[in-house]
Amino acid sequence: SGRGLRGSQAHSSPTHVAVVGAGLTGSLLACFLARRGHQVTVYERRPDPRTAAAERGRSINLALSERGIDALRRVGLHERVLVDALPMHGRMIHPVDGELDFQQYSIDGQRAINSISRGALNNALLDAAAATPGVSIVFEHRLTGLDPLVFATPAGEAKASADVVIGADGAGSAVRGQLLGMGLIDESVDFLDYGYKELTIAAGPDGDFAMDPGALHIWPRGTSMMIALPNPDRTFTCTLFWPHGGTSSLASLGSPAAIERHFRAVYPDVVPLMPNLVEDYRLNPVGLLGTVRCGPWQAATPGGPVGLIGDAAHAIVPFYGQGANCGFEDCVVLDRVLDETGDDFAAALPLFEARRREDVEAIATMALNNFVEMRDKVASPVFQLGKKIEHA
């Protein structure tokens, strides 16, 4: 109750903002909002990841690039986050047979994207949010109702109130679902026929990296593709992208022998580096890949303004490594429009969408196109001739 009454006076009297989701975007957003003097409560469905065990096979690392680093820099977090980052200066193409081919990302070879642990990044952001005056983080609270705010918790249902609600609750956003149910927004979700599975390349016998840690490794195979990013513990996390079903698909390898046979034929150089290939393949879940488009990204509900940010507003396929970077950049843009509107959320949220939508639609399309590039074109002779020229 009282949501929406704040208007432009909010600059002097802080707004109570409920951020739903303490993932990468929500925890960074909490830092930005609290720095502006707002009172922020972050509600997260899961237990505190700083104390709970990690889930199996769920995007262990990700590539952080300048857009994301710029956002972290603005809240003084970049140095802490980049301490353990492994810079990747180019991509290393692994053909079925023949020589490796390194294609650097920049003409001078100096620029890099950074492989970082998703868990460590999320924990650093949570620590930073929790240490910012004005932020409280509540775990094991799953949003089930928006107006009024209702959460499912281990102790039963909990009600809450806030002046403004921002959904940073990821691709399957419950906040978006609620707005949809209220007829306030539209959405489309396009899943690819492809899924992904994570596998691990172990450290070599000498304890060192088994491959070059200064590259993002790609095994382009046309209808399938595998990539690998280095981890600080000298392993690599591989992500295999392959159609869900059909004769050649994630579902088609039904036995340990079939798994071994397929990898020996298609990814021969990694088999000796993957001691747990069969176990990983059988136990790790298959992830979904899709593009979420919805609009508008905000609505005036009877209880006050509600907005969407990060994957909740615009999940994209991962082939440009830009989803998290994009969510971080969202935080910067929202911070800027709050500046311009004197912290009037009802005015800032539509302005945020107006500023941001075109860029987000562009990266969504580029990410889809880059899948074709990565699984196919990087291996073509034409591309290799031009490899000194930066190609996005």
* Nearest to ligand FAD of 55, 186 (CB atom): 55
* Nearest to ligand FAD of 38, 197 (CB atom): 197
* Nearest to ligand FAD of 322, 344 (CB atom): 322
Contact range with ligand FAD by CB under 6 A, out of 88-96, 200-208, 318-326, 337-345: 318-326
Site for ligand FAD in 186-205 (CB under 6 A): 196
332 is a contact residue toward ligand FAD (CB under 6 A)? no
Buried b (16+ CB within 10 A) or exposed e, 187-212: eeeeebebbbbbbbbebeeeeebbbe
State the nearest-atom distance from the C-beta of 7 to ligand FAD, in Å: 27
State the nearest-atom distance from the C-beta of 45 to ligand FAD, in Å: 4
242 is a contact residue toward ligand FAD (CB under 6 A)? no
Among 287, 290, 296, 342, binds ligand FAD (CB under 6 A): 287
The size of the interface with ligand FAD (CB under 6 A), counted in residues, is 33
Cα 79 to its chain centre, rounded Å, is 20
The pair of structure tokens assigned to 223 is 């209808």
Among 10, 18, 22, 31, binds ligand FAD (CB under 6 A): 22
Site for ligand FAD in 33-92 (CB under 6 A): 43-46, 59, 62-63
Contact range with ligand FAD by CB under 6 A, out of 10-18, 294-302, 305-313, 354-362: 305-313
153 is a contact residue toward ligand FAD (CB under 6 A)? no
Nearest C-alpha neighbor of 114 from the set 57, 51, 72, 58: 72
State the nearest-atom distance from the C-beta of 227 to ligand FAD, in Å: 9
23 is a contact residue toward ligand FAD (CB under 6 A)? yes
Contact range with ligand FAD by CB under 6 A, out of 18-26, 85-93, 251-259, 277-285: 18-26
Alpha-carbon span 170 to 312, nearest angstrom: 4
Among 103, 237, 239, 298, binds ligand FAD (CB under 6 A): 239
* Nearest to ligand FAD of 192, 251 (CB atom): 192
Among 325, 346, 360, 371, binds ligand FAD (CB under 6 A): 325
State the nearest-atom distance from the C-beta of 71 to ligand FAD, in Å: 11
Buried b (16+ CB within 10 A) or exposed e, 245-259: eeeebbeebeeeeeb
305 is a contact residue toward ligand FAD (CB under 6 A)? no
Q: Contact positions toward ligand FAD, by CB under 6 A? A: 20-26, 43-46, 59, 62-63, 142-143, 168-170, 174, 196, 239, 287, 310-312, 318, 321-325, 327
